[in-house]
């Protein structure tokens, strides 16, 4: 497929790898923000092409993984109601809440449906006026414009049986939280290309300056990631800390203006709890007051219960890049994609799932 296959060329990947070897003189630790990038890195073995001085650590950019346990429990409570059709992206169904998951609610007779787009949930609401349709709105700035348009359309159509359980998160505040952590090892970031396609990359300039850290807007194909790594290492080796755009075929500096306008119309910035990380100020999006009628939390009066994570799951440390997935004692033993303890083992963007799927398990377990 055009704009895909040519970015997976093995020879050209080797050429980038050789250049990275050539310019690297010191050890450097880089973090790729997005779980989609993590999967590409592990799937194509990109980390294995790099010199041993370069460590790639995997960031928190897996929306399913960072959705707080309390929010999953709220979803479960709403999905169990007989008057509700609960709609969600497929990834969320197997994420463990404190007692069960959405798939089990579905198996027990709950009407839980996977949708491709939030607009499908709006259509369902039009077709099922006697039911309450709830959409589980999770994700980063990439997904938020889709959710925003669904809410906006529902408001225009005056749908009274449509609402959303919103748990949207924002990337730059999470990067800052990581940089402020005393355990932070990150010296350079590969920023998430698709988030930047929406938001542009002006928000990263103050971060790069304040924390002296190179930030390279990077795509998702092997050649993108290798070029992103090369650009980061070139900056680190020459003592620069700038924002650069590797993914210029899809990302403009100002981002996607129509999408940003609708985000501003529908959402306000709120504090948000991140699973495994804790609350980060100004790191989430919530519905503005004029769209409060579409807020499922208010509509169904779900209350937040404090709940404890599985004691065996270290996904919080994985999400902050402090350990690699296989360094968790439960990895591949107590925790597998069939019986996940944490969301990082479930999601197609989760680092634990990537390691489980693409790496040879005996090697990883032997390396423990």
Partner 1 sequence: MSISGEDPLERAGKIDFGGIHKEVSLAYVPEAMVGDYVIVHVGFALSRVDEDEAKKVFEYLKQMEDLSELKEAGA
Q: Which residues bind partner 1 (CB under 8 A)?
A: 1-4, 6-7, 12, 15-16, 19, 89, 116-120, 139, 142-143, 145-146, 149, 152-153, 194, 197-198, 223-224, 227, 248-252, 256, 258-259, 262
- Cβ proximity to partner 1: between 134 and 328 the closer is 134
Least distance (Å) between residue 133 CB and partner 1: 16
Dist. CA 185–CA 124, nearest whole Å: 46
- Cβ proximity to partner 1: between 149 and 191 the closer is 149
- Cβ proximity to partner 1: between 37 and 320 the closer is 37
- Cβ proximity to partner 1: between 148 and 341 the closer is 148
Closest CA to 340 of 331, 351, 327: 331
Least distance (Å) between residue 115 CB and partner 1: 9
Dist. CA 350–CA 319, nearest whole Å: 9
Q: How far is CA 37 from the centre of its chain?
A: 10
- Cβ proximity to partner 1: between 141 and 297 the closer is 141
- What does DSSP assign to residue 267? E
Least distance (Å) between residue 110 CB and partner 1: 23
Q: Phi and psi (nearest 5°) for 33?
A: -75, -40
Element (H, E) at 217: strand 215-218
Dist. CA 171–CA 176, nearest whole Å: 9
Alpha carbon separation from 269 to 153, 193, 264, 282, 340 (Å, rounded): 21, 21, 9, 6, 31
- Cβ proximity to partner 1: between 23 and 107 the closer is 23
Least distance (Å) between residue 255 CB and partner 1: 9
Interior CA angle at 65 toward 36 and 291, to 5°? 100
Least distance (Å) between residue 139 CB and partner 1: 8
| Tokens encoding 28 | 């450097």
Least distance (Å) between residue 153 CB and partner 1: 8
| Tokens encoding 82 | 């007989």
| Tokens encoding 50 | 């790099």
């Amino acid at each position: 497929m055009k704009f895909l296959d040519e970015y997976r060329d093995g020879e050209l990947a080797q050429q980038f790898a050789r250049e990275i070897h050539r310019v690297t003189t010191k050890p450097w630790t880089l973090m790729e923000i997005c779980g989609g990038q993590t999967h590409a890195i592990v799937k194509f073995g990109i980390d294995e092409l790099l010199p041993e001085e370069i460590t790639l650590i995997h960031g928190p950019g897996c929306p399913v993984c960072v959705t707080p346990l309390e929010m999953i429990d709220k979803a479960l409570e709403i999905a169990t109601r007989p008057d509700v059709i609960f709609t969600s992206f497929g990834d969320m169904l197997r994420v463990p809440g404190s007692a069960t998951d959405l798939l089990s609610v579905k198996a027990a007779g709950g009407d839980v449906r996977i949708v491709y787009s939030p607009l499908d949930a709006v259509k369902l609401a039009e077709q099922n006026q006697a039911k309450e349709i709830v959409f589980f709105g999770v994700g980063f700035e990439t997904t938020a414009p889709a959710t925003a348009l669904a809410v906006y359309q529902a408001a225009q159509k005056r749908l009274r049986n449509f609402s959303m359980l919103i748990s949207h998160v924002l990337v730059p505040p999470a990067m800052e939280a990581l940089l402020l952590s005393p355990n932070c090892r990150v010296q350079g970031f590969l920023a998430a290309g698709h988030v930047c396609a929406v938001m542009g990359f002006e928000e990263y300039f103050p971060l790069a300056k304040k924390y002296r850290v190179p930030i390279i807007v990077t795509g998702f194909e092997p050649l993108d990631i290798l070029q992103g790594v090369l650009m980061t290492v070139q900056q680190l080796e020459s003592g620069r800390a700038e924002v650069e755009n590797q993914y210029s075929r899809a990302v403009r500096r100002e981002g996607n203006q129509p999408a940003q306008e609708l985000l501003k119309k529908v959402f306000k910035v709120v504090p948000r709890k991140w699973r495994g990380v804790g609350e980060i100020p100004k790191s989430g999006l919530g519905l503005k007051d004029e769209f409060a009628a579409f807020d499922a939390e208010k509509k169904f009066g779900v209350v937040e219960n404090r709940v404890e994570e599985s004691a065996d799951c270290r996904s919080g440390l994985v999400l902050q890049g402090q350990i690699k997935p296989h360094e968790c004692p439960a990895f591949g033993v107590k925790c597998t994609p069939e019986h996940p303890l944490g969301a990082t083992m479930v999601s197609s963007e989760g680092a634990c799932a990537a390691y489980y799927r693409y790496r040879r398990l005996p090697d990883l377990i032997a390396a423990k």
